[in-house]
């Protein structure tokens, strides 16, 4: 499939510096690191995937199999997620699974975030996630500035749903991988499937493709959309 290589120099120039975290012992200790809007990413940009732009986005959903990641350093941290806003706006309503390497080994933890509020990490005992689990995530605008965020691990048999209020623009919808530290673990190839926006295929929204990069080097590559417009791959290249 055809690669899409996009550099956003103006975003990089305007980005603020994100300090490296102290080494926590669990993924929950990484809560101070937000999965932030694109313009806040540093050294290029740390988003990979597809962002649909326009107005009035009301839903986004996608599924994936959680990769068996290998840590390159204790700074590695990334998450596949779906969300509304964040591409050209200062808020994001999002949910996914974070993989944190600060302990020296990958720790998976389900989370959601209503940026600029801090991310909320779910209990690992109540909502465990392991490599190989089938994950489905969705964010839906339900009216009156309220959003329902839903995350399901069908391999483990759990679903987490929450509805939160915020004032947001709803000018984009995304299916994304992101590293707040700018350092990805080796996740191999992650395939997003059943990707929809406003109840239609992601491809129908004419989305922008993004490849995450740091210090001028690409860390992963985003594959082209499938013929159905509902699936694509993310492939790790380097830390």
pLDDT digits (tens, 9 = 90+) for 127-171: 999 999 999 999 999 999 999 999 999 999 999 999 999 999 999
CATH number at residue 189: 2.60.120.700
- pLDDT at residue number 128: 98
With cut-offs at 50, 70 and 90, classify the pLDDT of residue 38: very high
Q: pLDDT at residue 66 above 70?
A: yes
For the entire predicted model, the pTM comes to 0.88
Q: Is residue 218 part of a domain?
A: yes
With cut-offs at 50, 70 and 90, classify the pLDDT of residue 40: confident
More confident residue, 67 or 28: 67
DSSP strands (E only) in 101-198: 107-115, 120-121, 134-143, 146-153, 158-165, 172-178, 189-197
Q: Is residue 177 part of a domain?
A: yes
- pLDDT at residue number 196: 98
Q: Is residue 4 part of a domain?
A: no
- pLDDT at residue number 43: 60
Q: pLDDT at residue 3 above 80?
A: no
| Mean pLDDT in residue range 163-183 | 96
Q: Is residue 91 part of a domain?
A: yes
Structure tokens at 121: 């990490």
- The residues with which 78 forms a beta bridge, in sequence order, are 99
Q: Is residue 3 part of a domain?
A: no
Q: In a 10 Å sphere around its CB, with 0-12 CB exposed, 13-18 middle and 19+ buried, how is residue 58 labelled?
A: middle
- The residues with which 114 forms a beta bridge, in sequence order, are 93
Q: How many domains does the chain have?
A: 1
- pLDDT at residue number 32: 62
Per the prediction, the chain carries an average pLDDT of: 88
Identify the domain containing residue 102 by its residue range: 9-236
Distance of CA 186 to the CA centre of its chain: 16
Q: Is residue 2 part of a domain?
A: no
- pLDDT at residue number 12: 34
Q: pLDDT at residue 68 above 90?
A: yes
Q: Is residue 1 part of a domain?
A: no
**Residues 72 and 186 sit within 8 Å (Cβ to Cβ):** yes
pLDDT digits (tens, 9 = 90+) for 6-37: 333 333 333 332 333 333 344 544 546 889 99
CB neighbour burial string for 173-196, b if at least 16 within 10 angstroms, e if fewer: bbbbbbbbbbbbbbbeebebebbb
Count of other CB atoms within 10 angstroms of residue 87: 23
Up-side HSE of residue 73: CA atoms within 13 Å toward CB? 11
Helix (H) or strand (E) holding 78: strand 77-84
Structure tokens at 132: 């190989």
- pLDDT at residue number 11: 32
More confident residue, 33 or 58: 58
Q: In a 10 Å sphere around its CB, with 0-12 CB exposed, 13-18 middle and 19+ buried, how is residue 115 labelled?
A: buried
């Amino acid at each position: 499939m055809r690669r899409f290589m996009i550099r956003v120099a103006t975003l990089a120039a305007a980005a603020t510096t994100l300090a490296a975290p102290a080494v926590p012992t669990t993924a929950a200790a990484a809560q101070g690191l937000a999965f932030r809007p694109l313009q806040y990413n540093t050294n290029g940009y740390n988003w990979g995937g597809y962002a649909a732009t326009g107005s009035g986005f009301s839903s986004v959903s996608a599924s994936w199999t959680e990769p068996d990641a290998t840590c390159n350093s204790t700074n590695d941290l990334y998450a596949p997620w779906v969300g509304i806003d964040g591409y050209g706006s200062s808020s994001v309503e999002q949910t996914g699974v974070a993989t944190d390497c600060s302990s020296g080994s990958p720790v998976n933890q389900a989370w959601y975030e209503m940026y600029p509020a801090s991310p909320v990490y779910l209990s690992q005992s109540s909502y465990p996630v392991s490599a190989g689990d089938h994950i489905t995530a969705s964010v839906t605008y339900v009216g009156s500035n309220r959003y329902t965020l839903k995350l399901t691990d069908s391999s483990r048999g759990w679903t987490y749903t929450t509805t939160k209020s915020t004032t947001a623009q709803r000018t984009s919808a995304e299916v994304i991988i992101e590293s707040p530290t700018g350092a990805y673990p080796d996740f191999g190839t992650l395939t997003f499937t059943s990707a929809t926006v406003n109840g239609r295929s992601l491809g129908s929204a004419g989305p922008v493709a993004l490849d995450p990069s740091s210090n001028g080097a690409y860390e992963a590559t985003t594959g082209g959309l499938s013929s159905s417009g509902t699936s694509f791959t993310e492939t790790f290249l380097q830390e």
